Chain A
Amino acid sequence: MYRYLLKRFASSVVVLGAVSLVTYALVTVAPGDPAETILREQLHSQPSDEQVAQFRAEHGLDEPFHVQYVSWLGDAVTGDLGQSYFHGRTVHELIAAHLPATIELAVAATVVAVAISVPAGIASAVYRRTPLDYVSQAGALFGVSVPNFWLGYLLILVIAVPFSAVPTSGAGSVTQLVLPAVTLGTGLAAVITRLLRASLLETLEEPYVRTARSKGLRERVVICRHALRSALIPVVTVVGLQFAYVLNGAVIVEVVFDRPGLGSLLVDAVFARDFPVVQGVVMVTAVLFVVTNLLVDLSYRYLDPRIDLEASA
């Protein structure tokens, strides 16, 4: 177990290192001098050469690439992600201020998704090829196909406009979370429903399910206690890996609903060419994603004792 964890830890460090290097390189080769762009924005006029030089020195932009990167990396491992070009705040502060809204959204969307997809997936598999199954499958098709930016506006039109109590922007309260969570949860629910249906159909063919049935157990017990548990393994992987999907979607959903989360912070930073913030958000995303993947792997062992992590390491 420890050997496995150690190995996973090492590969996570390699992934994070690669992400940081690639983003840093990308930002460095970006067309246009950030110093000039940003100063022009701040001064509302063409900056003088001295001002540009001073800005570059202040932010370490006059050093060669490897020096800049190593110094950034040295600070980053201690939690210092540098200074935003604009906000006059550290990247760390900005991320700390925006992260809660995104985590909240991610958790709420996952709850919505699981609440829809688990009953829908089970019903689809158990009542296979009945109208119930077709409705659930059609719903899933809609869920994976509808663009979440349009779904968000649609929900505003059909829910928030007639029921003015439901707010359409901001973050912090439960009511502000409802529409974004449903928007983001719908696509996720569709993916999980499809997967759970397929996985449960497969499990229901297993010999041990036949054994349970022939013992005379009630169908409910057969499905809930015998089949569902192993059918859930691929589902847990997907819910875990869908964390990436949630972060993808959060970018768009946060813009639609004007939520001050990590996604909208990233979009704003990208447009403002606030590269330290871009770099910081990408790193935090990468850390979140590496940690979720590890948790997903560990959860297998709990769900299916047959899986030997040492062997797969």
Chain B
Amino acid sequence: MSAIDDPGRVEPVARASVRRALRRNPASLAGGIVVAVVAIVAVVGPALVGDPNAGALSNRLQPPSAAHPFGTDPLGRDVLTRLVHGARITLAVAVAITLVRLVIGFVVGLVAGLFGGLVDEALMRVVDFLLAFPGIVLALVIAGVLGPSLRNVLLALAVVGWGSYARVVRSSVLSVREEPFVDAAKLAGISRVRLVWTHFVPNVAGPVVVLATLDLGGVVLAAAGLSFLGLGAQPPTPEWGAMVADGADYLRSAPWLVNVPGIAIAALVVGFNLLGDGLRDALDTDPTEVNR
């Protein structure tokens, strides 16, 4: 057994090793490329294509053609243009939800792991509940009661989804606590805040980044699902889930209205999942382990 295969070995979190591992894994490289393409489209695309809400009724429900590669919708709007604008909304919402989950989970996990005792016990019971209860049902109720809007979907999905982050951070904190360098730092007399910031946060970061990447795919699906139900993006916003819902009435006559945004969502989620799997292998950490 070579040193690399030794499960006890802790791989240092180095950017070069991540890049090398990703290059060796063509599947996750492909995932990275898909995500990068969507990200580039989201950033520069809207400036290159026209107004997503411009369209003439005389031009309605045109099948894909040279002028409209993905056809037009019932209001004569170009589906490709809407898809490009939708990339920005879909990606921004997913990233925002994931970041809020990460921050809440990070704080709760740090507090639970560092304080222990009753605080830990109480916080972990909340986490157990969040991890097991149907999150979409809960998010649906929260977002629905607050009123349909993208902001409320963001809020709802963030509130129901930080549990796994908290668990991963907590378990990393518990293992870092046992490290000799923590005792050394304490003996050196550094402040508690500095101890957490310089010794705990960097060591917890690796698994959290992997978890966030793996989570992003699920977040895209959840946010698009809630928008599909009509709770998120409101017309005429070209969010991808909402686009599928808008096209559903014309499923038989204009299937591209459902298929184009549907494939776009699936591709983005495949991208995040492949990238997450690759990062997990590269960083040699499986954050999903503690969530079972």
Q: What is A's interface to B at a CB cutoff of 8 Å?
A: 15, 18-19, 23, 26-27, 30-32, 141-142, 144-150, 153-154, 156-157, 161, 234, 237-238, 241, 244-245, 247-249, 251-252, 255-256, 266-267, 270-271, 273, 275, 278, 282, 285-286, 289, 293
Instruction: Give the secondary structure class of A's interface.
Output: helix
- Does A150 lie within 8 Å of B141, measured CB to CB? no
The residues of B that contact A157 with a CB separation of less than 8 Å are 251-252, 255, 259
Given A157-B251, A289-B133, A252 and B258 touching (CB < 8 A)? no
A23 to B138, CA, bound (A): 9
The answer for the CA separation of A16 and B244 in the assembled complex, in Å, is: 35
Scan B190-233; emit 1 where CB is below 8 A from any A CB, else 0: 00000000000000000000000000010001001100111100
User: Does B57 touch A at the CB level, under 8 Å?
Assistant: no
Could you tell me the distance in whole angstroms from the C-beta of A159 to the nearest C-beta in chain B?
A: 13
Q: Which of B98-106, B107-115, B265-273 contacts A (4 or more CB under 8 A)?
A: B265-273
Please tell me which one of the listed residues B129, B244, B292 contacts residue A18 in the complex, with CB atoms under 8 A apart: B129
- Shortest Cβ distance from A28 into chain B, in angstroms? 10
Q: How far is the CA of A163 from the CA of B270 in the complex (A)?
A: 30
Q: Which of A27, A31, A249 contacts B147 (CB 8 A)?
A: A31
Cβ contact within 8 Å between A147 and B221: yes
Our pick among A142, A149, A293 for the contact of B228 (Cβ within 8 Å) is A149
**Distance (whole angstroms) from the CB of B265 to the closest CB of chain A:** 5
- Selected contact of A248 from candidates B134, B241, B245, B263, CB within 8 Å: B134
- A residues less than 8 Å from B134 (CB atoms): 244-245, 247-248, 285, 289
Instruction: Indicate whether B176 reaches chain A with its CB closer than 8 angstroms.
Output: no
Chain B residues lying within 8 Å of A286, measured Cβ to Cβ, are 133
The contact sample of 8 A-B pairs, CB cut-off 8 A, is: A145-B273, A147-B225, A149-B262, A153-B262, A154-B259, A248-B137, A266-B140, A271-B230
* Bound CA–CA A137/B83 (angstroms): 29
* Interface SS of B by simple majority: helix
B146 interfacial by beta-carbon distance below 8 Å: yes
A244 touches B132 (CB 8 A): yes
Q: With an 8 A cutoff between CB atoms, is B169 at the interface?
A: no
Whether A282 contacts B137 by the Cβ 8 Å rule is: yes
B46 interface residue per 8 A CB criterion: no
Q: Closest CB of chain A to B37's CB: distance in Å?
A: 16
The residues of A that contact B132 with a CB separation of less than 8 Å are: 241, 244, 289, 293
Number of interface residues of B (CB under 8 A): 43
A156 to B: closest C-beta gap in Å: 6
Choose among A141, A153, A161, A237 the residue that contacts B258 (Cβ–Cβ < 8 A).
A153
Which chain B residues lie closer than 8 Å to A249 at the CB level? 136
The 0/1 profile, CB within 8 Å of A marked 1, for residues 127-156 of chain B is 001001111111011101111100000000
CB contacts (< 8 Å) of A26 on chain B: these are: 141-142, 145
Question: Do residues B273 and A153 form an inter-chain contact, with CB atoms below 8 A?
Answer: no
The list of the 9 closest CB pairs from A to B, nearest first, reads A150-B262, A270-B144, A248-B136, A145-B269, A244-B134, A247-B134, A145-B270, A30-B145, A146-B266
Contact A150 B244 (CB under 8 A): yes
Q: Taking A248-B134, A267-B140, A286-B133 as contacts, is the C-beta distance between A153 and B251 under 8 angstroms?
A: yes
Give bound CA distance, A247 to B135, whole Å.
Answer: 9
